Amino acid sequence: MIDCGEGAQLAFMRQRLSFSRLRHIFLTHLHGDHVFGLPGLVGTIALNGTGGHLTIHTFEDGARQLKSIFDYFCRDTPFEINFNIIKPEEAVILQTKSLTVRTIPLKHRIPTVGFVFEETPKPRHINPEMTRFHGVPIYMMNRIKNGEDFIRQDGKVIENSILTHPPTPSLSYAHISDTIYMPDIAEKIGPVSLLFHETTYLEEHKAMAAPRGHSTAKQAAMVARDAGASMLLTGHYSSRYHDDSLFLKEARDIFPNVILNKEGLVTNLD
Amino acid sequence: MIDCGEGAQLAFMRQRLSFSRLRHIFLTHLHGDHVFGLPGLVGTIALNGTGGHLTIHTFEDGARQLKSIFDYFCRDTPFEINFNIIKPEEAVILQTKSLTVRTIPLKHRIPTVGFVFEETPKPRHINPEMTRFHGVPIYMMNRIKNGEDFIRQDGKVIENSILTHPPTPSLSYAHISDTIYMPDIAEKIGPVSLLFHETTYLEEHKAMAAPRGHSTAKQAAMVARDAGASMLLTGHYSSRYHDDSLFLKEARDIFPNVILNKEGLVTNLD
C-alpha cells in the first residue's frame, strides 16, 4: 500500500482485499491526507486477529510519531509493526526475490519521496522443441532459462536465443506524489510500465502549482513522455475541479496513453 | 460532537453541517474507533480556513496524545484547539448560558465517561391578555417570565401562573457509550428527553457483553425505563448482527419508545 489516507481501511474492504496479505506500507510524506487512515487500519488488522508483521516505510520522525500513536491507541496489536526508516534521497529501500523498491526525492512543502517498484527480471522461456533437438539435459534447464548458451557433446555452441523465448516482461510502477514539476525526474524514473504522477492542477492554474508543491496534468504528461513510461495514471485532483476529463484531455495532448485515477480503479499492467 | 471515529469528517459533510459551527468535541474514551477521525477533521477545518476555536473535552493522557498528533500533522492550524481536561467521575464539565454538560463514569475496558447535556430552564411564556388585564408594566415582563408574582397598585397579588404559560420544555440528551450494564446509572442520568445507550449485543450473547465492556439491548432499555427517559436511541451494534430490527424488538419489550440508530439519522427532540 502506498500512503494511507483517512478511510483507507474502508476502501480496502470495498475492494475485497485481504488484510492478511498487507505486508508493506510506503509513505511518501507525512501530511495528514496521506497518513490519517493508518491508525484505523492497524486497529482493524489487530481486531481481525491477523498475525504476522507489517512494515511501514517512512522517515524517522514519521516513524516516531506513528509509533507513539500505535503504542497508545493500538496497545494489544497481535502482530509486529516494523519501521523501515527511509530518507528523502535516491536509494534502494527494499529488495525481495521478486521486487526492488527505490525512492526518488521529490519537492513538496515537506520532505517527500516517490517510489519505484520494479519486478526482478524473469527467467527466459524454454523452447521445448529446440532443447529436445539439441539434447539439453534436464539439469541444465535453469541455467538455460537464465540466459546461458549450451555446449553440445560435439562441442558445438548453441546460442541461448535459439533454445529460449524472451522472458515475460518485468513490470514496474512509479508513484510520484506530491511534488512540483521536476523535469530531471524522468531520467530517475525510467521506462516504467505505469507512472502515477500527481496532477493536482490544470495548466490554467499553473501559477498556483509550484508554490503549493504540486504539478499540472501537462507537466505530469511531460514526465511520462520523457521517462518513456508505457502508461500515465493521473490523480490527486484539486477539489476546485468538477470535470476530471479535463485532466485527461490536457495530458493526452502531450502523452497518448493516459488513464484517469478514481476510487476503486483496477488497472492491469500486462 | 460526541466522539469522532474515522470518517467523521465525511459524515459531517454528508449531513451538510458547517465546520465553522463545531465548537466542542466530547470524547467518551480513547479507543481508536471513537477518536481516529479527529486528526482528519481538524486538518479539514484548518484547510477550510475557519478561524475561532475548538474545545476538546477529554482525559489528560488523551489530550497529551492528541496534542502531539496535532502539533506534528496539523502544524499551521489557523484556529485554536483547547483541551478541557475531564476525569472519569461525576462532574459538571461545561456550563454556558443555555446548556450544562456533565459526565457520568462508565465501566468499560479503559476509563470512559458518559455525557448528559441539559438545556438551562427556559423563561415562562407571557399570557398577553392577562398581563394587559392586570396592568403589568413592560419593565416587569422579564421578572414575570422568570416566575415572579405581580403585585398590583391596589395591593392585590396576582400569581405568576395566571400571567404566564409554562415554559417550552428544556431538552436533555444523555450519551452512554461504551459500558457494561450499570443499574445504578439510571438515577444519575435522570428523565432525559433522549437517551443514547450502547446496545452492542442482544441478550442471547449477554455472556459476552460484560467481559468486553458492553451492554445488551435489553439492558439499555432497562436503563431508559429506570431513568424515566422519554426516548431511547440504540446503537454501537456488534458486526456479528445483520438485522438491526432485533435490537428494536428486544428493547421494546422493556421500554416502548425506542429508535434504532443508523448513519445519518436525524431526530427531533421536541
Half-sphere exposure of B154 (CA within 13 A, CB side): 4
**Whether A136 contacts A156, CB under 8 Å:** no
Which residues are registered as beta bridge partners of A196? Answer: A175, A233
Q: Given a cut of 80, is residue B106 above it in pLDDT?
A: yes
CB atoms within 10 A of CB B84: 15
Q: What pLDDT shows up at residue B75?
A: 73
Name residue B118's beta-bridge partners: B100, B172
Interstrand relation of A172-176 and A112-119 (parallel, antiparallel or unpaired) = antiparallel
Identify the pLDDT of residue A51: 67
At A106, which amino acid appears? Answer: L
Centroid of chain to Cα B166? 24
CB B192 within 8 Å of CB B175 = no
B11 Cα to chain A: minimum distance (Å): 12
Written as one letter, the residue type at A243 is: D
How many whole angstroms separate alpha carbon A100 and alpha carbon A91? 11
Three-state DSSP class for residue B203:
helix
Contact B178, B108 (CB under 8 A): yes
CB atoms near residue A39 (< 10 Å): 24
Q: For chain B, give the mean pLDDT.
A: 94
Q: How far lies B203's CA from each of B22, B196, B218, B222, B251, in Å?
A: 37, 18, 7, 12, 10
Long-range contacts of B150-158 (CB under 8 A, 24+ apart): B158/B130, B158/B134
* β-pairing verdict for A53-58 and A80-85: parallel
8 Å CB contact between B158 and B149: yes
| Nearest-CB residue to B43 (from A32, A40, A61) | A32
CB atoms within 10 A of CB A158: 18
- List, for chain A, all residue ranges whose pLDDT scores fall below the cut of 50: none
Indicate whether this model's pTM tops 0.80: yes
In chain A, residues with a C-beta closer than 8 Å to the C-beta of B69 are 65, 69
Answer whether A40 touches B (CB < 8 Å): yes
From B31, B33, B39, residue closest to A36, measured CB to CB? B39
B174 near A CB under 8 A:
no
Put simply, whether A35 touches B (Cβ < 8 Å) is yes
Choose the mutation target among A69, A212, A238, A263 for the interface with B, i.e. most B CBs under 10 Å: A69
Whether the bond into B253 is cis, omega within 30 of 0: no
B73 to A43: CB separation less than 8 angstroms, yes or no? no
By the CB < 8 Å criterion, does B206 face chain A?
A: no
| B74 lies within 8 A of chain A by CB | yes
| B270 contacts B194 by C-beta, under 8 angstroms | no
CA distance A28 to chain B (A): 14
B4 touches chain A (CB under 8 A): no
Q: C-alpha grid cell for residue B211?
A: 467481559
Question: Quick one: residue B52, left, alpha or beta (phi over 0 = left, psi -120 to 50 = alpha)?
Answer: left
A99 close to A117: Cβ distance less than 8 angstroms: yes
pLDDT at B48 over 80: no
Cβ contact (<8 Å) for A36 and B31? Answer: no
Q: Report the C-alpha gap between B178 and A223 in whole angstroms.
A: 52
Contacts of residue B143, Cβ cutoff 8 Å, sequence gap at least 6: none
CA distances to A25, A61, A265 from A42, in Å:
11, 19, 23
Q: Rounded to a whole number, what is the largest CA-CA distance in chain B? A: 73
| pLDDT value, residue B51 | 67
Query: What's the pLDDT tens digit per position in B129-172?
Result: 999 999 999 999 999 999 999 999 899 999 999 999 999 989 99
Residue B221 distance to chain A (closest CA, Å): 28
The strand pairing partners of B116, in sequence order, are B102, B174
Cβ-based contacts of A9 with chain B (< 8 Å): 6
Neighbour count for residue B195 (Cβ, 10 Å): 31
Which residue in the set A32, A37, A73 is minimally distant from B30, CB to CB?
A: A73
Asked if omega into A270 is within 30° of 0 (cis), the reply is no
Residue whose C-alpha cell reads 478514481 in the numeric block: A262
Q: Do B36 and A36 touch (CB under 8 A)?
A: yes
SS3 A158: strand
Please provide the DSSP assignment of B30-41 as one string: --GGGTTTHHHH
CB contact A32 to B (< 8 Å): yes
Distance CA(A214)–CA(A195), nearest Å, equals 16
Q: How confident is the model at residue B50 (pLDDT cuts 50, 70, 90)?
A: low
B200 and chain A: CB distance < 8 Å anywhere? no
pLDDT tens string B85-98: 999 999 999 999 99
Question: Grid coordinates representing B77?
Answer: 492550524
* pLDDT tens by residue, A67-83: 999 888 877 677 788 99
> Is B154 among the catalytic positions?
no
A164-165 and A172-176 beta bridge pairing: unpaired
How many beta-carbon contacts under 8 Å exist across A and B? 57
Indicate whether this complex's ipTM tops 0.90.
no
**Which residues from B are below 8 Å from A69, CB to CB?**
65, 69
Report pLDDT digits (tens) over B12-37. 999 999 888 899 999 999 999 999 99
| Count of C-beta atoms within a 10 Å radius of residue A8 | 21
pLDDT tens, residue by residue, B210-257:
999 999 999 999 999 999 999 999 999 998 999 999 999 999 999 999
Helix (H) or strand (E) holding A233: strand A232-233
List all residues 6 or more positions away from B106 whose beta carbon is below 8 Å from its beta carbon.
B28, B29, B88, B112, B113, B114, B176, B177, B178, B179, B182, B185
The answer, yes or no, to whether residue B77 has pLDDT greater than 90, is no
User: What phi, psi does A61 have (nearest 5°)?
Assistant: -75, -30
C-alpha cell at B171: 431538552
Beta bridge partners of B216: B201
